Structure 1
Amino acid sequence: MKALFAALLPSPGLSMVVLVLWLVLARTPSLAQALVGVFLAFTVPHIVATLRAPRAQLRNPRGALRFLATVVRDVVASNFEIAWGLLRRGSRQPTAGFVVIPLQLRDPVGLAVLAMVTTIVPGTVWSELAIDRSAMLLHVWDVPDKVAFVARFKARYEQPLCEIFE
């Protein structure tokens, strides 16, 4: 019985959210809208099941806290660097460019965290991940020395994520 319920409703929480959202968005409660909502509540979890990320397993919780502190510190520092760079714009133009960073990190959740970090740290934007996950392409706002940037990026972000997730 339990297996049948799990097969019909693999994600009860998602089903409930879909149903409630459908009824709220419908604006006019009716039996037809309720039936469409129930249909969606049963079908949407099956459709999106392949999109769900695997469960992450933190292998180093203390490392995760240190990593979070590093990211917060880098976000604040990068905001000041970019603001300062914009204020003194006439003295030196930023050397924006694309940087290819070879990756050792293969864990999908770790790569997702890496993608989020590079998007929230001002001055960097995740552009592309190689199909085999061996390298990533970043656009960097100011990167006078690409080799030094890659070494710093790997030490500050990739290596801690390898310790946390792999």
Structure 2
Amino acid sequence: MSRWLPSPILSAALLIMWLLLNQSISPGQLLIGVLLAIAAPILSRPLRPFTVVVKKPMVMLRLAGWSLKEIIRSSFNVSRIILFTRHERLNSQFIRIPLDLRDPYGLAVLSCIINSTPGTVWVEIMPDSNDLALHVFDLHDASWWVDMIKTRYEQPLIEIFEQGDP
């Protein structure tokens, strides 16, 4: 089974996405979607250096919900700042956040969440300390950012990707 379908969830998502994009469930589109859903994960297998074992799907859903809420909230805040705040009053700064998360897929998800949130940019992981360098568009409380990233994003990602790892 894993030889022909190495990532069943990815295959299902590709098939659904194909059918939604084509707005059709005709036999031809279904056949093309199934072929794509089988071929893409097989052909992309060499690009994935590690196998991913996702644990705790409910934690993943909670993280997705919180991330979506934060993205929407930040969109309104950044829009308000751009439209109504004078440039001189902005406090744009870099901050460092110490990370305990080490899993490369967990770090990739954290990067996607941070870069999807308006007003924040993932700059780099500092090689000497595993600190995250983060740029915040209008920083008022650095400790709030550190606490939010550590508790609302990093801890769930550790539960999802690293719980039980040696």
Are residues 1:93 and 2:89 paired?
Answer: yes
Displacement of 1:130 in angstroms is 2.3
Are residues 1:122 and 2:115 paired?
Answer: no
CA distance in 2, matches of 1:165, 1:116: 15
CA distance in 1, matches of 2:70, 2:111: 15
Of residues 150, 163, 166 in structure 1, which corresponds to 2:159?
163
Aligned twin of 1:144:
140
Unmatched tracts of structure 2, length 5 or more: 4-42
Displacement of 1:133 in angstroms is 6.7
Are residues 1:102 and 2:98 paired?
Answer: yes
Q: What letter corresponds to residue 155 of structure 1 in structure 2?
A: T
Structure 1 stretch displaced more, 139-148 or 107-116 = 139-148
Task: State the 4+ residue runs in structure 1 displaced beyond 6 angstroms.
Answer: none
Q: Tell me if the contact between 1:67 and 1:157 (Cα under 8 Å) persists in the aligned partners.
A: yes
Displacement of 1:91 in angstroms is 9.1
Q: Tell me if the contact between 1:106 and 1:133 (Cα under 8 Å) persists in the aligned partners.
A: no
RMSD (Å) for aligned C-alpha atoms: 2.3
Q: What letter corresponds to residue 129 of structure 1 in structure 2?
A: I
Displacement of 1:117 in angstroms is 0.8
Identity fraction in percent: 38
Displacement of 1:159 in angstroms is 1.0
* Deviation string, structure 1 residues 89-126 (Cα, Å, up to 9, x no partner): 13972211101010010111000101111111111111
TM-score (norm 2): 0.66
Unmatched tracts of structure 1, length 5 or more: 1-5, 7-44
TM-score (norm 1): 0.66
Of residues 127, 130, 144 in structure 2, which corresponds to 1:134?
130
CA distance in 2, matches of 1:156, 1:100: 17
Displacement of 1:85 in angstroms is 1.2
CA distance in 2, matches of 1:89, 1:53: 46
Aligned twin of 1:65:
61
Q: What letter corresponds to residue 125 of structure 2 in structure 1?
A: L
How many equivalent residue pairs?
A: 121
Over alpha carbons, which structure has the higher Rg?
A: 1
CA distance in 2, matches of 1:78, 1:57: 31
CA distance in 1, matches of 2:161, 2:153: 12
Aligned twin of 1:76:
72
Instruction: State the secondary structure of the residue aligned to 1:104.
Output: coil
